[in-house]
Amino acid sequence: MIRKRERSGKVQDILVQVNLAKEASKSGIYEEDLRGLLDCIETMPNLRLRGLMCIAPNYDQVETCRPLFRKMHEIYQRVKEIPYSTANITYLSMGMTHDYRIAVEEGANIVRVGTAIFGPRQY
């Protein structure tokens, strides 16, 4: 897929998901591996890093996710300071229907609120 995109000359904007809580049920890269992945993305001319994202665990007490969101915002701020030539890091996506208010308070500028709009998923 990447080689096809290279031939087309198109550039794909991307967010990288960070799995801060190291939950097996969630995708994403661990914080300690993030810099290596970002450096690799920098070498791919058809990818443009636009930001980071994370999904907090579904805690019973929603306030419990605040430290995780705060840490993710700190990581986002550090990544923005790295002088990548192709990145345009603008977005921090964190927070879902149940915890988006805390995510916004901690610096999110994208939230995912599908459950609030469409209702719970039917599995």
- For the chain, the domains span 2-118
Q: Which two tokens stand for residue 120?
A: 């719970």
DSSP code string of 74-92:
HHHHHHHHS--SS----EE
HEC readout, 8-77: HCCCEEEEEEECCCCCCCCCCECHHHHHHHHHHHHCCCCEEEEEEEECCCCCCCHHHHHHHHHHHHHHHH
pLDDT value at 43 more than 90: yes
Residue 81, phi then psi, degrees to nearest 5: -80, -15
* Model confidence pLDDT, tens digit, residues 69-113: 999 999 999 999 999 999 999 999 999 999 999 999 999 999 998
What's the average model confidence in pLDDT over 63-71?
97
pTM of the model: 0.88
The confidence band for 115, taking pLDDT boundaries of 50, 70 and 90, is confident
CATH of 2-118, one of 3.20.20.10, 3.50.50.60, 3.40.1080.10, 3.10.150.10: 3.20.20.10
